[in-house]
Amino acid sequence: MTKKQDKNNLQNEDLMEEIISLCKRRGFIFPSSEIYGGFSAVYDYGPYGVELANNIKAAWWKAMVRENENIVGLDSSIFMHPKVWEASGHTSGFADPLAECKGCHTRVRVDHLLEEAGVFADEKMSAEEINKLLKENREKLKCPKCGGHNFSEAKEFNLLVQSNLGNFTSDWSKTPVYLRGETCQGIYINFKNVLDSARVKIPFGIAQIGKAFRNEITARQFIFRKREFEQMEMQYFVHPDESDKSYKEWKERRWQFYLNLGIKKENLKWHEHENLVFYAKAAWDIEYKYPFGFKELEGVHARGDYDLKQHAKYSGKDLSYRDPQTNEKYIPFVVETSAGVDRTFLAVITDVITKEKLEDGSERTVMKFPKELAPIKIAVFPLLKNKPELVKKAREIYDNLKSQHMCEFDDNGNIGKRYRRQDEIGTPYCITVDFETLKDETVTIRDRDTMEQERVKIKKINEELKMRLAKK
Ligand code: ATP
């Protein structure tokens, strides 16, 4: 490894550390069950985290459902009939090959080991072929924990999370019930319901945001790979002849979504799947440059008629569509856009976290969230805590703003510290009530990015903030 690479790696590790620590310290993300020693690859969103996650979901919902007349929403259940997972191929095929490091007994995903070592492995390889690759490349493979090169044979490990929910469905009572491994199956099994109830015609889409669960083996990389995570998926049903065109359009639109969200273009790239699953027509991922490198943020897939055909076969129900104009009957093709709330969250934080040297030689950390995503839009401060007339005025302003924007009232510590804190949680505007306010009914509005303060009449605050928050 060259010195330069060394330094880059260190910087990236530092950045990851910085993000993890800020997220914990400021109440964005907590490791789950911390008082019991933690629970691997499960995380909780704290007071600011839940605001940011909600804003991400709202932006997605707006771009997908609100702004498209022919896309409707759905909220299907986490539990589904076990047959759903037979039909989707998850109970037989949703597996990762795993090997154990003989030195430290860490279990590692073999596809990750081979990828890190620059060895090409086909997704369709059998366990035997994978094990052959493991043997042949032994020297190149490195345990991420202890650096050892000695691994056990690879074994397949199913990613679906089982539950012990009583399964009383007559024929299937011996089959385990799963927590869903992806949200889209809930969409496919409701295709007919939506078609019959929502006055939609092909082409149309069904969008859903919801939790998914996977027995992920590699529990690293913070919220990038969680065992309980949230997906934002949209399945677009089209005529088979329109699938290619629609796929191209959705690729462009999903790329644009991240640019509109304020993500820097240079931190995004397309990655084409080298090995398509047998039914797929095309599969590309949008990757984001996380502190640990470019990794999948969203998948855009042309899935053909596989999913509806499978569910038609396993359920015995007709899931075809009859065109009301031409009377043509067919199984629609599906174009899927599949994004993760958590991966978007981490991408946004990585993109906006900034350290700045100030004129007085001090340093500040500031999260330059786009205003739409900022957890708190406005913070209101009385200059001093022990001056009742300042506190009263600041409270009045806060009470007046809180029903329109997510606001925070803070009278803790000195004003400089309060600004730093709001910078770290990315609040675009801080309003301060000071002694001049009592004389002339004006307050200062401080801009997070420029740190400039401007005096504004109290009666103009509403208008002023509305205007500023609406600007990109
Ligand atoms: P990877 O190859 O990184 O495991 P995947 O290809 O299995 O991801 P998909 O099944 O295509 O992912 O899921 C769609 C989206 O769901 C992903 O692009 C990602 O944003 C999100 N996602 C998948 N698995 C996880 C996870 N374990 N933690 C957080 N988000 C996830």
Q: Both 177 and 287 in a single domain?
A: yes
**For residue 445, what is the domain's CATH number?**
3.40.50.800
Query: What does the mean pLDDT of the chain come to?
Result: 91
123 and 167 assigned to the same domain: no
CA dist 321 and 331 (Å) reads 6
CA 65 / ligand 1 centre spacing (Å): 22
Measured by CA distance, the residue closest to atom 30 of ligand 1 is 340
Examine the pLDDT at 189 and tell me if it is beyond 80.
yes
The binding-site residues of ligand 1, defined as CB within 6 angstroms of any ligand atom, are 182, 214, 216, 225-226, 229, 231, 296-299, 338-340, 342-343
Q: Whose CA is nearest to atom 23 of ligand 1?
A: 340
C-alpha closest to that of 202 among 70, 329, 69: 70
- Residue 1, pLDDT > 60, answer no
Query: What is the pLDDT confidence band of residue 203, given thresholds at 50, 70 and 90?
Result: very high
Q: 315 and 442 share a domain? A: no
| CA 254 to ligand 1 centroid distance, Å | 16
CATH value at residue 101: 3.30.40.230
167 has a pLDDT exceeding 70: no
Beta-bridge partners for 71 = 205
The partner residues of 117 in beta bridges, in order of sequence, read none
Q: Which of 158, 182, 206 delimits the end of a domain?
A: 158
What residue's CA is closest to ligand 1, atom 29?
A: 225
* Ligand 1 center–CA 144 separation, angstroms: 21
Nearest CA to ligand 1 atom 3: 296
The CA distance from 439 to 458, in Å, is 12
* Best probe residue, ligand 1, of 297, 307, 343 (max atoms within 8 Å of C-beta): 343
Same domain membership, residue 77 and residue 104: no
What's the confidence (pLDDT) of residue 3? 34
Domain shared by 129 and 248, yes or no: no
Tell how far the Cα of 359 is from the centroid of ligand 1, in angstroms.
Answer: 43
Tell me: pLDDT of 71 over 60: yes
Pick the more confident residue, 24 or 198.
Answer: 24
- Domain span at residue 138? 95-158
Let me know whether 178 and 43 are in one domain.
Answer: yes
pLDDT of the residue at 171: 65
Distance 196 CA to ligand 1 centre (A): 31
Do 172 and 311 belong to one domain? Answer: yes
Domain-embedded: residue 426 = yes
The reply to whether 66 and 168 lie within a common domain is yes
Q: Are 206 and 276 part of one and the same domain?
A: yes
Q: Please report how many Cα atoms fall inside a 13 Å half-sphere around the Cα of residue 106, on the Cβ side.
A: 18
- From the list 85, 201, 102, 219, the residue with the least C-alpha distance to 152 is 102
218: domain CATH number?
A: 3.30.930.10
Ligand 1 center–CA 471 separation, angstroms: 33
Residue 122 located in a structural domain: yes
Classify residue 240: in a domain, yes or no: yes
* Atom number of ligand 1 nearest to Cα 343: 20
Same domain membership, residue 83 and residue 104: no
Nearest-CA residue for atom 19 of ligand 1: 340
Find the 413 Cα to ligand 1 centroid distance in Å: 42
pLDDT at position 393: 97
How many Å lie between the centroid of ligand 1 and the Cα of residue 378? 34
Which residue lies with its CA nearest to atom 16 of ligand 1? 340
pLDDT digits (tens, 9 = 90+) for 8-19: 445 677 999 999
Given 111, 126, 158, which residue is the final one in a domain? 158
- How remote is the CA of residue 253 from the centroid of ligand 1, in Å? 20
pLDDT at 7: 38
Q: Do 202 and 319 fall into the same domain? A: yes
Ligand 1, atom 20: closest residue by C-alpha: 340
Domain boundary among 158, 176, 204: 158
At 263-304, the pLDDT tens digits run: 999 999 999 998 788 889 999 999 999 999 999 999 999 999
Q: Kindly list the distances between the CA atom of residue 198 and the CA atoms of 192, 193, 201, 305, 378, in Å, as whole numbers in the listed order.
A: 10, 8, 9, 21, 39
Proportion of the chain above pLDDT 90, given as a percent: 74
- Per residue in 221-280, pLDDT tens? 899 999 999 999 999 999 999 999 999 999 999 999 999 999 999 999 999 998 788 889
Cα 248 from chain centre: 23
Split into its structural domains, the chain has a count of 3
Q: Are residues 393 and 430 located together in one domain of the fold?
A: yes
Q: Among 29, 110, 231, which residue has the most ligand 1 atoms within 8 Å of its CB, making it the best to mutate? A: 231
pLDDT band at 123 (very low <50, low <70, confident <90, very high): low
